[in-house]
Amino acid sequence: MNDSALTPEPCSAPLRVIPLGGVGTFGMNCTVLECGGHMIMVDAGFKIPQGNYPGVDLILPDFTYVLENLHRLDAIFLTHGHDDHIGSLPFLLRQADVPVYGTALTLAFVRERLADRNGNGQPVDGDLRQLMFRDPVTCGPFNIEAVRVTHSIPDGAALIIRTPVGTVVHSGDYKMDQAPIDGNPTDLAGLSDIGEAGVLLLMSDSTNADRPGFTRPEAEVGRAIEDLMGQAPNRVFIATFASHIHRIQQILDAAKACGRKAVIEGRRMIGNSRLASDLGCLHVPPDVLISMENAAEHDSGKLVYLVTGSQGEPMSALSRIARGEHSGVKVGNGDTVIFSSRIIPGNELSAGSMIDRLFRAGAQVYYQGSPMVHVSGHGSAEEIKLMINAVKPRFFVPIHGDYRQLVACSSLAQQVGIEKDRTFILDPGQVLELSEDTACLGDSVPAGRMLVDGDLVTDLGSPLMKERRRLAREGLVVVVASIAAPGEPESIAPSVFSVGVGLEEASQSLDREAEVVAKNFIMEWRSAPSSIAELREDVRIGVRAVYRRALQKKPMVVSVLVEE
């Protein structure tokens, strides 16, 4: 790799673009580009599990293809510091010793994530290299330049990837906010200049492609929060995403304007705020921020708490406050709670339960659909059209969205003049091969999902996951008995316990019936003994039949039969 050289190496092979995640589903954003035997990766994020993933903490892209070709991977480039773009790095970098490029705040967040996974809170040594806006670096046949885009986090970048085949623009996450909080709008002029020079492929954020018009500006949220804060008779609690630095900035500014002191609570929010402040991306007004310990010294009507827990996460600051389990503060009559975020699909039950609990405590709660307490960090349909018109790509690939958003984004490209046969909706692992004037689908590479449970990483088809899903679906029955040898005093009657098999009353009745069945098998065995292993299997099958007949379920049955 030669950072100083601006001319990429020649490349006789076609350019290959391979999304490993972030297409057809939100999260796990990751794309591989290949040319001339070299490979780079754009982003490496994770997804929070929803639905049928018992015991799973995180979902990662399947990096099998990358790891099998690790000798060709020159570097990883990051668009911004959200976990759905950087969260896989602690796992990938265990096996891939390659440079990671990102802007200043993005790399600060990466260091924090690496320290988290290291488990000791100490920074993990890694080859992290700062990417400066409009200052290209070269990796083999690739020349990569960062162009500023506006998002809900500072230091967001679109990546301009120049190759001998042509220029690829990866938009990152963006919106066209005309008055962003940090004063750094999307560099539409720079993108237009790049478009005039010729762009082979645009890969565009599709998150809000199915929303008409323009996304409302972030500043509107600040005004709404300041109004609510000014009217609130007592304490104000505001939950938002811990990485939403622009939102945190506006809340602190509103606290200053309303004469309130601010407390930041929640490990991730405290850490992110510190990092952003150290880098000049967050400007804390003087005499506003206080610690949780010092809050008791101030009038409760002059306090605002910035807290984690906008999705109802059980161990978040707001969840503990709502349950009355936080040692530093409790919510009560006259308090105001603002959810300054959207509720991510799949989190409705946990967030809704917490909102109900806050209402029961006497708080006034503002959440999704309330006054303008949240706007998206992603551009809507007209902003996507602006991006396409600025870049003027020959070919177009929508990324970062569920399948319906990808379809909507492809339709937007066609509306502004890109022919349908020049737009490609890709599945994970599907290869798009490009030359200077053609694009076609190639073979697919291995792709899918890897599941993280603590430090264990496994795949969907692993015996562990199959067993967990069966337990979640069918339940567990445990038979415990002490077995006396034939001729000895009678064995202790077996006990049966079931979990997750059925409703409590029905399960208890079936447990008693199963105890009778198990006892009969043990008595038969005592009269005509065979091996204890055979008895365990007979008991297992007989007990399972009790639940199968009654509930049409086949629970996992564990026979714990101990010979005296």
DSSP 3-45: SS--SPPP--SPEEEEEEESEEBSS--EEEEEETTEEEEE---
Higher pLDDT, 231 or 51: 231
**Residue 523's pLDDT is what?**
84
Q: Is 80 a catalytic residue?
A: no
pLDDT (tens digit per residue) in 45-80 = 998 777 666 566 788 999 999 999 999 999 999 999
Residue 484 banded pLDDT, cuts 50, 70, 90: confident
Alpha-carbon span 191 to 148, nearest angstrom: 9
Contact call for residues 433 and 442 (beta carbons, < 8 A) = yes
Q: What is the token pair recorded at 406?
A: 């990808």
Residue that has been written with the tokens 């260091």 in this structure: 111
Residue 489 banded pLDDT, cuts 50, 70, 90: low
**Residue 236's pLDDT is what?**
97
- List the end-to-end C-alpha distance of the chain, in Å, as a whole number: 69
Q: What is the DSSP letter of 333?
A: T
SS3 assignment, position 483: strand
**Residue 121's pLDDT is what?**
46
Residue that has been written with the tokens 């967990």 in this structure: 468
Give the mean pLDDT of 145-172: 97
Residue 551 pLDDT > 90, yes or no?
no
User: In sequence order, which residues have a C-beta less than 8 Å from that of residue 258 and are 6 or more positions away?
Assistant: 226, 229, 230, 304
Give the mean pLDDT of 282-286: 95
Q: What is the token pair recorded at 452?
A: 């993280």
Lowest-pLDDT range, 155-164, 205-214, 348-357, 430-439?
Answer: 348-357
**Residue 497's pLDDT is what?**
87
**Residue 313's pLDDT is what?**
86
Residue 486 banded pLDDT, cuts 50, 70, 90: low
Q: Is the dihedral of CA 327, 328, 333, 336 positive or negative?
A: negative
Residue 508 pLDDT > 50, yes or no?
yes
Number of H helices, E strands in the chain: 15, 27
Q: Give the number of C-alpha atoms closer than 13 A to the C-alpha of residue 133, restricted to the C-beta side.
A: 17
504: number of Cβ within 10 Å: 9
Residue that has been written with the tokens 């199959």 in this structure: 466
Q: What is the token pair recorded at 48?
A: 């929070």
* CATH for the 15-213+376-446 domain, from 3.30.360.10, 3.40.50.1370, 3.40.50.300, 3.60.15.10: 3.60.15.10
Domain boundaries, the chain: 15-213+376-446, 219-366, 460-563
Alpha-carbon span 204 to 113, nearest angstrom: 26
Q: 199-205 and 393-399 as β-strands: parallel, antiparallel, unpaired? A: parallel
Q: Is 205 a catalytic residue?
A: yes
DSSP string, 375-427: --SS-BHHHHHHHHHHH-EEEEEEESEEHHHHHHHHHHHHHTT--GGGB--PP
Q: Which of 205, 253, 511, 538 is catalytic?
A: 205
Indicate the angle between helix axes 219-231 and 245-257, nearest 10 degrees.
40
Per CATH, the homologous superfamily of domain 219-366 is Metallo-hydrolase/oxidoreductase (3.40.50.10710)
Residue 297 pLDDT > 80, yes or no?
yes
pLDDT (tens digit per residue) in 378-400 = 999 999 999 999 999 999 999 99
Residue 118 banded pLDDT, cuts 50, 70, 90: low
Lowest-pLDDT range, 16-20, 396-400, 548-552?
Answer: 548-552
Residue 5 pLDDT > 60, yes or no?
no
Alpha-carbon span 314 to 316, nearest angstrom: 6
Q: 23-24 and 236-239 as β-strands: parallel, antiparallel, unpaired? A: unpaired
Give the mean pLDDT of 493-501: 86
**Residue 101's pLDDT is what?**
98
Give backbone dihedrals phi and psi of 56, rounded to 5 degrees, phi first.
-95, 130
Q: Which of 82, 246, 378, 400 is catalytic?
A: 378
Find, among 79, 72, 74, 61, the residue nearest to 25 by Cα: 61
Q: Which H or E run includes 74?
A: strand 73-77
**Residue 563's pLDDT is what?**
76
Higher pLDDT, 291 or 460: 291
Residue 29 pLDDT > 90, yes or no?
yes
Compute CA distances 258 → 81, 226, 251, 272, 291, whole Å.
31, 7, 10, 24, 18
Contact call for residues 476 and 498 (beta carbons, < 8 A) = yes
130: number of Cβ within 10 Å: 12
Contact call for residues 158 and 133 (beta carbons, < 8 A) = no
User: In sequence order, which residues have a C-beta less than 8 Å from that of residue 237 and are 6 or more positions away?
Assistant: 304, 305, 307, 318, 321, 331, 335, 336, 337, 338, 363
**Residue 130's pLDDT is what?**
97
Share of the chain above pLDDT 70, in %: 91
What pTM was estimated for this model as a whole? 0.84
Residue 461 banded pLDDT, cuts 50, 70, 90: low
Residue burial 429-457, b: 16+ Cβ < 10 Å; e: rest: bbbbbbeeeebeeeeebebbbbbbbeeee
pLDDT (tens digit per residue) in 316-334 = 999 999 998 998 899 999 9
Residue 8 pLDDT > 90, yes or no?
no
**Residue 3's pLDDT is what?**
44
pLDDT (tens digit per residue) in 406-458 = 999 999 999 999 999 999 999 999 999 999 999 999 999 999 888 887 766 76
DSSP string, 213-255: S-PPPTHHHHHHHHHHHHH-SS-EEEE--TT-HHHHHHHHHHH
CA gyration radius, the chain: 28
**Residue 122's pLDDT is what?**
47
**Residue 460's pLDDT is what?**
63
Q: Please state which CATH number belongs to domain 460-563.
A: 3.10.20.580
SS (H, E, C) 180-195: CCCCCCCCHHHHHHHH
Q: Give the number of C-alpha atoms closer than 13 A to the C-alpha of residue 135, restricted to the C-beta side.
A: 10
Alpha-carbon span 346 to 309, nearest angstrom: 15
Best mean pLDDT range from 142-151, 304-313, 520-529 = 142-151
340 CA to centre of own chain? 18
Residue 230 pLDDT > 50, yes or no?
yes
